[in-house]
């Protein structure tokens, strides 16, 4: 239970009620996302703030414990759209004006042993897919939505700025989708090494990426840039990296309410920007990509910690000492 900035506590709670249309889920694995770290370290994201003690976690998987899914391993879609508003009717469930989202102050998240969740938002996992694999389908879904917004063509030069878990999944997606070249930018050495393992070549540090001359090896620059770091240096690197007429997809979440970039460069290049808001209906596609071996989610997880070490897990995830930290509840 997150009570305030840095104040997370292990507490006992009654078993949840299971309303009609819901399934009881015995949660096994919860990934710590960058947005969870914002809630933990800042008490909110932008103008969304912690208004009550809240169970965090939105990257989660478990085993059905009631109804038709009793005993079935499932991944949990953390977003509950209303299904009736204009955005939902247009197919933009991620932009629902009445959406509820796990661990987002108004709705308790997945970091509990038992949770009741709408049955239609539970996705059975194929044989051989583990709980941590299932939890990683959520960040893969975000990366996949960002990739869709990139409108990239086969053979394009793609740059990924920020090689945390979503960035590393985006690199894999670009390779699987036929990118002609995938370049990565990352300040942390161990994440640069991971980017190279997943197929990025070359991989630049932030100082290299800030120099326009660095990108001349791509001719006029990258056709598409996916920015997945959330700070102004990363956004500026994306603007520097992309070719005239190119597209920059902003998926990173900034610490504050504002992002900035060199407007004169973006204007002269005639750039198109796209903003990423979570994901749409990505779970079936994400499951197929993993099941077919096109995307490796398992190696993204570098630490699985027990629930009684949740504070330590948050601290290490905040320090970015590995790739993905998962809290194991069983």
pLDDT in tens, 16-55: 999 999 999 999 999 999 888 988 988 888 778 888 899 9
Cβ neighbours for 221, distance < 8 A, ≥ 6 positions apart:
157, 215, 240, 241, 242, 243, 244, 246
Are both 248 and 196 inside the same structural domain?
yes
Phi-psi bin for 57: left (phi > 0), alpha (psi -120 to 50), beta? Answer: left
Cβ neighbours for 20, distance < 8 A, ≥ 6 positions apart:
none
Task: Give the separation between CA 317 and CA 287, rounded to whole angstroms.
Answer: 25
* CATH code for the domain in which residue 24 is found: 3.90.180.10
Provide the percentage of residues in the chain whose pLDDT is more than 70: 100
Beta bridge partners of 124: 74
Q: Look at residue 179 in the predicted model and tell me its pLDDT.
A: 97
Q: Look at residue 154 in the predicted model and tell me its pLDDT.
A: 97
Q: Look at residue 112 in the predicted model and tell me its pLDDT.
A: 96
Q: Look at residue 254 in the predicted model and tell me its pLDDT.
A: 87
Are both 213 and 314 inside the same structural domain?
no
Long-range contacts, 318-321 (Cβ 8 Å, 24+): 318/37, 318/40, 318/41, 320/164, 320/188, 320/191
Are both 74 and 154 inside the same structural domain?
no
Q: Look at residue 330 in the predicted model and tell me its pLDDT.
A: 82
Q: Look at residue 305 in the predicted model and tell me its pLDDT.
A: 95
pTM of the model: 0.95
More confident residue, 49 or 71: 71
Asked which of 113-117, 123-127, 215-219 is least confident by mean pLDDT, the reply is: 215-219
Provide the percentage of residues in the chain whose pLDDT is more than 90: 90
Task: Give the separation between CA 238 and CA 241, rounded to whole angstroms.
Answer: 5
Q: Look at residue 50 in the predicted model and tell me its pLDDT.
A: 87
**Domain ranges, residue 252:** 141-275
User: What are the E-state strand segments in 79-138?
Assistant: 79-80, 100-101, 114-118, 122-124
DSSP SS3 for 59 = strand
pLDDT in tens, 154-176: 999 999 999 999 999 999 999 99
Are both 11 and 115 inside the same structural domain?
yes
Within-domain flag for 292: no
Are both 90 and 159 inside the same structural domain?
no
Are both 81 and 193 inside the same structural domain?
no
Cβ neighbours for 173, distance < 8 A, ≥ 6 positions apart:
143, 144, 147, 289, 295
Angle at 123 between CA 117 and CA 124, to 5 degrees: 115
Beta bridge partners of 29: 61, 328
Q: Look at residue 279 in the predicted model and tell me its pLDDT.
A: 95
Q: Look at residue 140 in the predicted model and tell me its pLDDT.
A: 98
Are both 146 and 125 inside the same structural domain?
no
- What is the crossing angle of helices 310-318 and 34-42, to 10°? 100
Q: Which residue carries 């393992």 as its tokens?
A: 197
Q: Which residue carries 């994201």 as its tokens?
A: 45
pLDDT greater than 80 at residue 87: yes
| Residue 42: φ, ψ to 5° | -130, -10
Task: Give the separation between CA 242 and CA 125, rounded to whole angstroms.
Answer: 38
CB 223 within 8 A of CB 157: yes
Task: Give the separation between CA 139 and CA 269, rounded to whole angstroms.
Answer: 31
pLDDT in tens, 283-305: 999 999 999 999 999 999 999 99
| Residue 160: φ, ψ to 5° | -115, 120
Q: Look at residue 51 in the predicted model and tell me its pLDDT.
A: 87
pLDDT in tens, 207-231: 999 999 999 989 999 999 999 999 9
| 106-126: average pLDDT | 96
DSSP SS3 for 217 = helix
Element housing 168 (H / E): helix 165-176
Mean pLDDT of the chain: 95
Q: Look at residue 49 in the predicted model and tell me its pLDDT.
A: 86
What is the number of structural domains in the chain?
A: 2
Within-domain flag for 192: yes
pLDDT greater than 80 at residue 105: no
Are both 6 and 115 inside the same structural domain?
yes
Are both 92 and 209 inside the same structural domain?
no
CB 27 within 8 A of CB 108: no
The dihedral sign for the CA sequence 8, 14, 19, 24: positive
Are both 124 and 145 inside the same structural domain?
no
């Amino acid at each position: 239970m997150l009570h305030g900035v840095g104040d997370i506590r292990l507490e006992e709670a009654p078993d949840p009620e299971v309303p009609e249309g819901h399934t009881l889920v015995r949660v096994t694995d919860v990934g710590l996302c960058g947005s969870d770290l914002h809630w933990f370290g800042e008490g909110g994201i932008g103008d969304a703030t912690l208004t009550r003690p809240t169970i965090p976690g939105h990257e989660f998987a478990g085993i059905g414990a009631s109804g038709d899914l009793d005993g079935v391993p499932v991944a949990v879609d953390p977003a509950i759209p209303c299904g009736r508003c204009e955005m939902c009717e247009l197919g933009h469930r991620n932009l629902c004006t009445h959406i509820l989202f796990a661990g987002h102050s108004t709705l308790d998240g997945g970091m509990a042993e038992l949770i009741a969740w709408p049955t239609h938002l539970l996705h059975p996992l194929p044989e051989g897919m583990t709980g941590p694999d299932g939890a990683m389908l959520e960040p893969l879904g975000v990366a996949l939505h960002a990739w869709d917004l990139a409108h990239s063509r086969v053979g394009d030069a793609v740059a990924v700025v920020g090689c945390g878990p979503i960035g590393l999944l985006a690199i894999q997606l670009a390779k699987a989708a036929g990118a002609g070249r995938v370049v990565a930018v990352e300040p942390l050495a161990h994440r640069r090494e991971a980017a190279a393992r997943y197929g990025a070549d070359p991989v630049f540090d932030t100082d290299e990426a800030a120099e326009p001359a660095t990108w001349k090896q791509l001719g006029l620059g990258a056709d598409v840039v996916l920015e997945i770091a959330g700070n102004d240096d990363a956004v500026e690197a994306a603007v520097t990296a992309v070719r005239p007429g190119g597209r920059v997809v902003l998926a990173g979440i900034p610490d504050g309410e504002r992002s900035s970039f060199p407007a004169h460069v973006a204007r002269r290049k005639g750039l198109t920007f796209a903003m990423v808001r979570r994901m749409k209906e990505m779970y079936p596609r994400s499951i197929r990509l993993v099941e077919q071996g096109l995307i490796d989610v398992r190696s993204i997880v570098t630490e699985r910690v027990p629930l009684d070490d949740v504070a330590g897990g948050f601290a290490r995830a905040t320090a970015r000492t590995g790739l993905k930290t998962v809290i194991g509840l069983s």
